[in-house]
Amino acid sequence: MVAVHIHTPQDNLPEKLGEYLLAEQDKALSQSKTFKVAISGGSLVNVLKTGLIDNSKIAPKIKWDQWEIYFVDERIVPLNHPDSNYGAFKVAVLDHLTVKQPKVFPLNASLVGKGPEENKKIAKEYEDLLPKTIDSLLLGCGPDGHTCSLFPDEEHKYLIEEKTQRVMWCYDSPKPPSDRITVTLPVLADAKQIAFVAEGSSKQPIMHEIFDLKNTKLPTALINKLYGEKVTWFVNDEAFTKVETKTF
């Protein structure tokens, strides 16, 4: 069973995500000096800005200097490139933090654009810096059911089926840019909590496929099945219009 929070426009999804993260932060910091979070790119970064930076109830309670922030996937582009997940997060969130900064772990930009061997090295280096256990994974869901850079097509099965390597080079990505790195299922298996965020009408067909048809060929639906007990979805009612089931 996964937990699903369905938000109406009046019911503020970014604030609910912020409250969830505050609770996870406080839980982690009661046992450790750091709160380890790994985030997606895409639409999630603006939800984080609204929930954690712009929200005056949440913002003062975030202990940014005790956060370690990793990326569940990253596009292999320079960090200031418009496609960079780190770059998008920097503009949306980090640039607004003037007093306390988290420790952020981007990929090794010096290896970007050099070729296949360097792309594998970027993935390996990222695997080496990633802690075994992440407290909170914050994931997106593409309209094709991908999450992280784990894509549902046959050509990219090697990523979702990987059992050992924790971070891999994703080549020929169906969504540009073509070269990426992504965490694999072992990282999700070891994480303490997993949250998905999906908003908007473009996500309606895929929400139906994930929640009604439970099509586990989709990485998102497979993650629900494998790790459901620690999975929470934050969706808005627009994205969830076509979902009929009430049992998740």
Q: Kindly give, in sequence order, each residue whose CB lies less than 8 Å from that of residue 2, ignoring residues fewer than 6 positions away.
A: 224, 228, 231, 232, 233, 248
In angstroms, the first-to-last Cα distance of the chain is: 5
Q: Applying CB under 6 A, which part among 10-18, 35-43, 109-117, 155-163 lies near ligand LXAUTJHC?
A: 35-43
Q: Applying CB under 6 A, which part among 21-29, 119-127, 140-148, 215-223 lies near ligand LXAUTJHC?
A: 140-148
Among residues 43, 84, 220, 232, the one that binds ligand LXAUTJHC under rule CB under 6 A? 43
100 vs 177 by CB, closer to ligand LXAUTJHC: 177
Contact status: 140 vs ligand LXAUTJHC (CB under 6 A): yes
Please tell me the distance from the alpha carbon of residue 26 to that of residue 29, in angstroms, as a whole number.
Answer: 5
Task: Report the largest interatomic distance among the alpha carbons of the chain, rounded to a whole angstrom.
Answer: 49
- Identify each DSSP E strand in the chain by its residue range: 3-7, 35-39, 67-71, 73-75, 103-104, 136-139, 167-170, 180-183, 193-198, 231-236
74 vs 135 by CB, closer to ligand LXAUTJHC: 74
Among residues 24, 73, 135, 179, the one that binds ligand LXAUTJHC under rule CB under 6 A? 73
Name the site residues for ligand LXAUTJHC (rule: CB under 6 A): 40-44, 73, 85, 140, 142, 147, 149, 175
